[in-house]
Each structure stands twice: as C-alpha cells, then as structure tokens.
Amino acid sequence: MTVLAKDAIITLAHGSGGQAMQQLIETHFVAAFDNSELALMEDQAQLPLAELTLAGDRLSFATDSFVVDPLEFPGGDIGKLAVCGTVNDVAMAGAIPKYLSCSFIIEEGLALATLERIVQSMAVTARQAGVRIVTGDTKVVHKGACDKLFINTSGIGIVPVDRQLGARFIQSGDKVIVSGTVGDHGAAILQARGELALSGTLESDCQPLNGLVEAMLAAGSVRALRDATRGGVAAVANEMASSAGVGITLAESAIPLHPQVRGVSEILGLDPLLMANEGKLIAVVPAQHSEAVLAAMRAHPSGAEAAIIGEVTNGSAGQVKVSGPFGGERLLPMPVGEQLPRIC
C-alpha cells in the first residue's frame, strides 16, 4: 500500500481517465478488493457459468445506490453499507451472493485517506460476506455536484433449486420474526450527525445477512424474507401485508430494542418501527417451523437477539396493526415522509 500524503485529496484529474485515475484504481481499489477478475483490469468481469449453474437454477440480481451523511459512523461507513445493502438484497431471495460491481461518484476535494478507509472497509466486508467485487467505475465531479461520495453496487447470487421465497407465499397463521434489535442504524446516524446528545456508544447494525439466511434455511422452511432498511419494520410489514393480501399484527412488547434506542425514541417520540436498519431482516415463517428457525437465528452471531414479533392474520387484508402492552391496538400505515402530529 502506498503511503499517503497526510492531506492528499481527490481532484478532477482522478476522474479524467488518465494516469491519475489509473493509479488511483490500481493502488487503492484493485489492491484492496484483491481478486483475479478485477486484477485483469478489463471493462467487465467474466464469470464462470458452470460453477454458478452447479449451485442453483436462478440468478438473483440486485442494485442499490448509497448516500449517507456522515460517510463514517459508529459501526460502519458508506462502503460497508454499500456492500451489505446489495448482499442483503440478493440474500433475501434465499440466494447465495457471489459477485458485486461497484461505482464511485466522488466529489472533488474528498480526502484520499477517507476514500482509502472506505475502500478497505468494503474489502473487509466483502470478504466477510464471501462475495467478490469484480468490476467497477469511478467518476469525480465538481465540488457541489454530489455530496462527498456516492456508491452504487450491484450484485448477483445463485438461488439453489429448492428455494422459493417471496411475499406471495405468506399465509395466515405464519409467524413474523425479526433478526435483532430494531432502529439501531437510524439512531446511530442521528447520533453521528451530532443531532442526539447521547452518552455511550450506539452503533449501526450494518452487517451482511447471507450467513444468517443460510442458517435459517437449514433449520426450517421460510416463506419470505425482507431486510428492513429505509422505512424500517413498518415499511416491510406493509409491503408484505399488501402484496400477500393478509393482515399482520405486531406485538409492541415483543420488539427487541437496544436500551439506548429505546431511550432515544422515548425522548424524541420516534417510533423504532419506522427507523432504518442496515443489518436486520424480517422473516415470515410457518408457525410449526418458527421455533426451529428462531433457535437457529439465535445461535448465529447476526441473530442473537432475534424474536418472534407478530403473526399473519386473515382479516383486514393489507393492514398492519401493533398491539400495545394493555390490549389496545393501533394501525401502522406505510410510512410517508415526515410524521406530523395528529393529536388535535
């Protein structure tokens, strides 16, 4: 690894297609991602089909763009987010994620050291998830044309022959499981922005979930999986309820919360069910498999605090309800923008 000047920054030259760019890619990206496909430095990656077809009968293909302020936050950074986000989207089909592409849009003036850290973090996360970053692109834009750094990743994975997951398979009586505490990422970002005067450390839950998914599918049958990112559990539950034409009832008291997230939401009146996660999934599982799947999740480091938080009902199709500790219920609609007070 080259030793960086302390104050080196990205300039427009790094995106010119010329020598500066070449050097940036070779010394930082190729070195960090370290795989044979990328090392060829072609404009595309060539992937061995035979190996893929042995693993399953369908490709799962997803793309996502990542923007976050700040770029680095407790528990992660935009690079880790970019790898986990796409890995998780691919994995929610029950697929085994294999390859990622990665595009950087960089605002001129970004510290080279920052980029270096983010790229390293992507490399570490990709290894952890067992995926290879095999192709990519870099653009540098004028100051103000983007905010420091945007990353797009796309990914493909293989869905094994016997796996059929999707919201359309959800049935009344199924259990709803969350893989751990809810709202950690949203709260960590607020804290990192200096918007919460929190003591203690609150970390984003940003993590790849494909290992957890494998453990779950080995333990029992699963109807549908969704990672609860933007819009939180509320968005996922609503999507599932409306596309399956079922009702979903969540039990407020069963929802796992980090004590600090609970504290923040009590002070600010935030609903953790609406807060973003970057390493939590919602699984809908047939009731008779729910305990086995839950046990497998809890035995996995990414699901230690997994819990059954609700169930699927056949009444009021498309509707998500939350039952309170004393028997009251409230509607949990699809989140739309800012939540303004309703009480008159």
205 belongs to the binding site for Mg ion (CB under 5 A): no
Rounded distance, CA 177 to CA 174, Å?
Answer: 10
Find the shortest distance in angstroms from Cβ 340 to Fe ion.
Answer: 14
Whether residue 100 contacts residue 126, with contact meaning beta carbons closer than 8 Å, is answered with yes
344 binds Fe ion (CB under 5 A): yes
What's the token pair of residue 185?
């990422």
Q: Which of other proteins, Fe ion, Mg ion, none sits in contact with 68, Cβ below 5 to 8 A by type?
A: none
Q: Does 331 bind Fe ion (CB under 5 A)?
A: no
Q: Please choose which of Fe ion, Mg ion, other proteins, none residue 89 contacts, taking the beta carbon within 5 to 8 angstroms, the exact cut-off set by kind.
A: Mg ion
* Position 227 contacts Mg ion (CB under 5 A): no
Q: Is the CB of 6 or the CB of 342 nearer to other proteins?
A: 342
Provide the 3-class DSSP secondary structure of residue 315: coil
Q: Is 252 in the site for Mg ion (CB under 5 A)?
A: no
Distance CA 34, CA 344 (A): 59
The one-letter amino acid code at 285 reads: V
With CB under 5 A as the contact rule, the residue among 37, 89, 205, 278 that binds Mg ion is 89
Both tokens of 117, joined, read 């850290």
Residue 316 interface partner, choices Fe ion, Mg ion, other proteins, none, CB cut-off 5-8 Å depending on type: other proteins
Question: Which of 1, 49, 54, 197 contacts other proteins by CB under 8 A?
Answer: 197
Q: Which of 110, 190, 236, 248 binds other proteins (CB under 8 A)?
A: 190
Minimum Å distance from CB 280 to other proteins? 22
* Contact flag: residue 37 with Mg ion (CB under 5 A): no
- Rounded CA-CA distance 195/175 in Å is 36
Strands (E) located in the chain? 58-66, 72-73, 76-77, 96-107, 132-141, 149-159, 175-178, 224-227, 247-251, 281-285, 307-313, 320-323, 329-331
DSSP 68: -
Q: What tokens appear for 173 in the block?
A: 């009586």
| 64 vs 252 by CB, closer to Mg ion | 64
For the chain, the distance separating the N- and C-terminal CA atoms, rounded to the nearest angstrom, is 61
Of 200 and 341, CB closest to Fe ion: 341
Residue found under tokens 């080995």: 218
- When the beta carbons of 197 and 344 are compared against Fe ion, the nearer one is 344
Q: Which of 198, 251, 292, 295 binds other proteins (CB under 8 A)?
A: 198
Nearest to 24 by CA among 39, 35, 13: 13
**For the chain, how many residues are written?**
344
Contact 233, 275 (CB under 8 A): no
Closest residue to Fe ion: CB criterion:
344
Taking every pair of Cα atoms in the chain, the longest distance, rounded to a whole number of angstroms, is 67
Backbone angles phi, psi at 126, to 5 degrees: -65, -40
278 binds Mg ion (CB under 5 A): no
The piece of 41-49, 151-159, 303-311, 321-329 that touches other proteins (CB under 8 A) is: 321-329
Which of 268, 287, 299, 304 contacts other proteins by CB under 8 A? Answer: 268
The interface partner of residue 328, options being other proteins, Mg ion, Fe ion, none and the CB cut-off 5 to 8 Å by kind, is other proteins
Is the bond preceding residue 259 a cis peptide, omega within 30 degrees?
Answer: no
Q: Tell me: does residue 340 bind Fe ion (CB under 5 A).
A: no
Q: Is 64 in the site for Mg ion (CB under 5 A)?
A: yes
Q: How far is CA 238 from CA 241, 250, 278, 321, 334, in A?
A: 5, 11, 18, 10, 6
Strand partners, 164: none
Considering CB under 5 A, how many residues would be counted as binding Fe ion?
A: 1
197 interacts with Fe ion by CB under 5 A: no
Interacting residues with Fe ion (CB under 5 A): 344
Interacting residues with Mg ion (CB under 5 A): 64, 89
Interacting residues with other proteins (CB under 8 A): 190, 194-198, 264, 267-270, 316, 319, 321, 324, 326-331, 333, 336-344
